Amino acid sequence: MSRATLGAIVLAALALGACRDGPDWRVLQLYGGQGSLDALRSPVRVEAFRIAPESGPPEAGVPFVGVHRVVAGPVEVPPDLAAALSSALLDADTYDWRHAKGDPFRPTYGLRFAKDVSRVDLALDLESRMLTVHRHGRRIGVEDFDAAAPRIAEILRRSFP
């Protein structure tokens, strides 16, 4: 069996399972699996950061969110705002699954959701309304979040003094 065939079978199984109960398979794929979704759904801690738009390899002693250098923060996101962020980010209707933008990606905000050993980093560009998902220092997903952009932007603004 080829790798492509095996991959198609796995994706089909995930899609069927998600249709019955559980997360939308596209959200599961965007965030790289159930561990990430658990960290988003019920985090122990959510932190917000201001980040440099340029990406680069991590440097010793320099804090990073995903592949972006931290320029301010972390700021702990209050539980009510963290719950609103989680709700928006786990909602499949937040994302534009059918279209890809040609806009440059220049994120200025970062989020970190942590639970147990799972840590999910998000880099958000509020102008283009795109985000990238990072785990273990690697980008694992990218998507447009137009539908929830105003709500997410307001939460980020309220999180920073």
Residue pLDDT, tens place only, 74-112: 999 999 999 999 999 999 999 999 988 888 999 999 999
The string over 42-67, giving b where at least 16 C-beta atoms fall within 10 Å of a residue's C-beta and e elsewhere, is ebeebbbbbbbeebeeeeeeeebbbb
Between strands 68-76 and 109-115, the pairing is: unpaired
SS3 69: strand
Strand order in the sheet with 64-65: 64-65, 68-76, 45-55, 109-115, 118-125, 130-135, 138-144
Q: What angle do CA 43, 87, 159 make, to 5 degrees?
A: 70
Q: Residues with Cβ < 8 Å from 67, sequence gap 6 or more?
A: 55, 56, 57, 58, 123, 134, 137, 139
List residues bridging with 154 in a β-sheet. Answer: none
Q: Which helix (H) or strand (E) holds 29?
A: helix 25-31
User: Looking at the whole model, is its pTM more than 0.75?
Assistant: yes
Residue pLDDT, tens place only, 113-157: 999 888 999 999 999 999 999 987 789 999 999 999 999 999 998
Average pLDDT, integer, range 13-40: 79
User: Using an 8 Å Cβ cutoff, are 108 and 49 in contact?
Assistant: no
- Going from the N-terminus, what domains does the chain have, and what CATH number goes with each? 25-159 (3.30.1490.410)
Q: Is the pLDDT of residue 55 over 90?
A: no
